[in-house]
Amino acid sequence: MNTREQVFVTRFRVGHTGLNRTLFLKGKLSSGLCECGLELEMVEHVILNSVQVIGGNVSVVLGETAIFPCLLQETTESLTQITWQRRTRLIKDNTNFYTISSKNGPSYFNGPDERFSFAGNISLRNGSLQLSNVTRSDEGTYTCIFTLFPSGNFKTEIPLNVLGITTVLFTVCTALKIQNVLDEIK
């Protein structure tokens, strides 16, 4: 690495250079301005204001309905589609099963599973999905993937925990035992 490249790397590491400006000067971008409107895009700006996909953990009682939350934040890029993948007790590999396109709406991969329905709003960048009549075999990890133009895919994984009747009864019994102990202490 020559001296100029070493200076660039050092400045970049400590945040003393505009990322887009440097890429512009290197001929990699057509402008040195930030896409969000700031004059100079600094390293801190990229880290603190980067695209985020917000999900969460989902627990649901066997036979009930689960909502998988999935929100895209911090971007003004064009959203072309939302893809859902799953890896469950029966499906060992992460597999596409549902897509919501900005042009064509929702569609299933490998045949429909009518228990799934789109619970979000693509124009609001909400990719939430609903699963009705949850079974034990639905337990696993669900992945929500937003496809943006031009930057590509951004995703989050959402674990689904299915609570059987024994789990619910155990929780209720434990709570009742604790309440009885608290009543005796009074």
pLDDT at residue 52, rounded to an integer = 85
Q: How far is CA 128 from CA 48, 61, 119, 124, 134, in A?
A: 24, 19, 5, 11, 16
pLDDT at residue 12, rounded to an integer = 58
Distance CA 163, CA 159 (A): 13
Phi and psi torsions of 64, nearest 5°: -90, -170
Q: Quote the pTM value.
A: 0.66
Per-10-residue mean pLDDT, the chain, length 186: 65 57 72 59 54 90 95 88 94 92 89 93 94 96 92 92 70 64 62
pLDDT at residue 7, rounded to an integer = 61
Domains of the chain: 3-48 (no CATH), 52-166 (2.60.40.10)
